[in-house]
Structure 1
Amino acid sequence: MTPILATIYEAENRWGRDDDFFLAAVDETPAARVLDVGCGTGRLTLALAARGHTVTGVDPDRASLAVARTKPDAGRVTWIEGTSDVLPDAAYDVAVLSSHVAQEIRAEDDWAGTLADLRRALVPGGLLVFDSRDPAARRWEHWNPTDSRRRLALPDGTVVDAWTEVTEVSQGSVSFVHHYVFPDGDELRSPGTLRFRTEAELRTALAAAGFTVVRIHGGWDREPVGASGDGELIVIARAAG
């Protein structure tokens, strides 16, 4: 991610109901050693530290971490540039992957490896909490120039017109392009691909990595799967003892 995309990401991803959920889930383990994988610019990471947890934020993107390190109280967090393979053994009580980071891990071998790394990094009985969009909800059908159009205000006052378009849906993956148009007419395009795993696929991968599923919610108010307009699969799993 370039510095300007990191700034746009900040403007587009404000605190929301998903952050409230993750914060409450972690708070169920007081004074926890928390691992935030794919921490990005540190929105949730810093909030967890402010609640008294000992927090490590891990992300492979240098520009995102650079933004995170400039924020107030960033010194309370241990920031690591990298992926799950750099994590120490049995060092954390809770691991979180928020903002659908799990869907960014597209190849099944990489997903299995990430879960194995997280199992290794958690203490026996430690919790893993992550979100993944439910493919049954077909949320990508609203990722089009009409339904997704939005305006973003950057810190310097610049207003950016934005929208998303889907470019391909194939074999459980959805590819798309975010468009960002600046007042002078310059356009920045940010392509991406997300893996949409079913509940059954998530359960199978977790079991193979040594996790027991505690529960899976379908929305941020802890509704059953399929019973919420949020269209989520919010997983809480426990590392084998």
Structure 2
Amino acid sequence: MREPDAIFADPRQAALYDVFDDDRSDLDAYAAIVAELGARRVIDVGCGTGTLAVRLAGEGLSVIGVDPAAASLDVARAKPGADLVTWIHGDAPAAGEVRPPADLAVMTGNVAQVFLSDDDWCAATDAIHTALRPQGWFVFETRRPEVRDWLNWNIPPTRVALPDGRIAVVTRSVTDVSLPLVTFRGSTTIDDEVLWSTSTLRFRDRHEIERSLDGREFDVIDVRDAPDRPGKEHVFLAQRREGKRQPVSELT
């Protein structure tokens, strides 16, 4: 597994993540899915600064947050209610060590796309399979490559007010499109300091993902539209293959 991007691993940038991405209404859909599937024990793989993990724990669920970026976990642990979450510093395969088994594992945001090689993706999905109970659920989102949304990712220098009254100037530029990989670079300038972070995401189409999950002993039960990015993403609800397949319609 590659090292986490600086935006998550650099303590200076991790501390600003929730400031720049303060609208987390995208997590409402995941909280609803957790409730729909009746999950009581959840693993948040790539939990970042812990917004979803803390939210679910506050609703009375048993939650494990796993992330390879120690700086992001430091931010997560400082949040009110963070003591209700079990935090694990590790990459996705570390989820395979979670016991007892979970009802559901989730990857939000771009987490499912940080696995650039097939080997890394298979290692992550194998670990999640191990961490789930029989017929447990794996829920994640991924951007649709055919939409080519990276054409809209560039951000010109933009001023953002920080909680301490200072002004940050943020930028983002797509630097390389070599499908299935897309690379972009962002900067944050505060006073005279410039903080850089470079990220690469892998775009897998629906057929590729479904084929890969089938090969890792998951059944794709449903594929939904992401309500915060309609038409741009798929949300996969996959079930660990074990015994009789159980459609979502029988759970609601």
> Could you tell me which residue of structure 2 aligns to residue 42 of structure 1?
50
Residues 121 and 31 (structure 1 numbering): CA distance in 2 closer, same or farther, change over 3 Å? closer
Among 202, 212, 215, which residue is 2:219 paired with? 212
TM-score, with length taken from structure 1: 0.90
- Conserved 8 A contact 1:7-1:154: no
Off by >6 Å, runs of 4+ in structure 1: none
Residues 233 and 31 (structure 1 numbering): CA distance in 2 closer, same or farther, change over 3 Å? closer
Q: Alpha-carbon deviations, 1:75-121, whole Å to 9, x = none?
A: 10000001232323661001000112011111111001111111111
Residues 185 and 27 (structure 1 numbering): CA distance in 2 closer, same or farther, change over 3 Å? same
Among 124, 131, 138, which residue is 2:134 paired with? 124
Residues 143 and 124 (structure 1 numbering): CA distance in 2 closer, same or farther, change over 3 Å? same
- Conserved 8 A contact 1:17-1:220: no
> Could you tell me which residue of structure 1 aligns to residue 30 of structure 2?
22
Rounded to whole Å, the distance in 2 between the matches of 1:90 and 1:200 is 32
> Could you tell me which residue of structure 2 aligns to residue 232 of structure 1?
233
> Could you tell me which residue of structure 1 aligns to residue 101 of structure 2?
91
- Conserved 8 A contact 1:34-1:56: yes
SS of 2:103 mapped into structure 1: strand
Identity %: 38
Matches within 5 A, 1:11-160: 11-30=19-38, 32-86=40-94, 87-88=97-98, 91-146=101-156, 150-160=158-168
Number of aligned residue pairs: 232
Rounded to whole Å, the distance in 1 between the matches of 2:44 and 2:143 is 19
Compute the displacement of 1:156 (Å).
2.1
Rounded to whole Å, the distance in 2 between the matches of 1:159 and 1:43 is 24
Letter in 2 for 1:205: S
Structure 1 stretches lacking a partner, 5+ long:
222-227
Compute the displacement of 1:150 (Å).
4.1
Residues 235 and 36 (structure 1 numbering): CA distance in 2 closer, same or farther, change over 3 Å? same
SS of 2:139 mapped into structure 1: strand
> Could you tell me which residue of structure 2 aligns to residue 224 of structure 1?
none
Rounded to whole Å, the distance in 1 between the matches of 2:160 and 2:57 is 28
Rounded to whole Å, the distance in 1 between the matches of 2:159 and 2:236 is 31
Rounded to whole Å, the distance in 2 between the matches of 1:82 and 1:47 is 21
SS of 1:80 mapped into structure 2: strand
Residues 203 and 150 (structure 1 numbering): CA distance in 2 closer, same or farther, change over 3 Å? farther
- Conserved 8 A contact 1:126-1:238: yes
Rounded to whole Å, the distance in 1 between the matches of 2:61 and 2:148 is 36
Compute the displacement of 1:9 (Å).
1.3
Compute the displacement of 1:42 (Å).
0.5
SS of 1:152 mapped into structure 2: strand
- Conserved 8 A contact 2:176-2:184: yes
- Conserved 8 A contact 2:46-2:92: no
Compute the displacement of 1:31 (Å).
5.7
- Conserved 8 A contact 1:219-1:229: yes
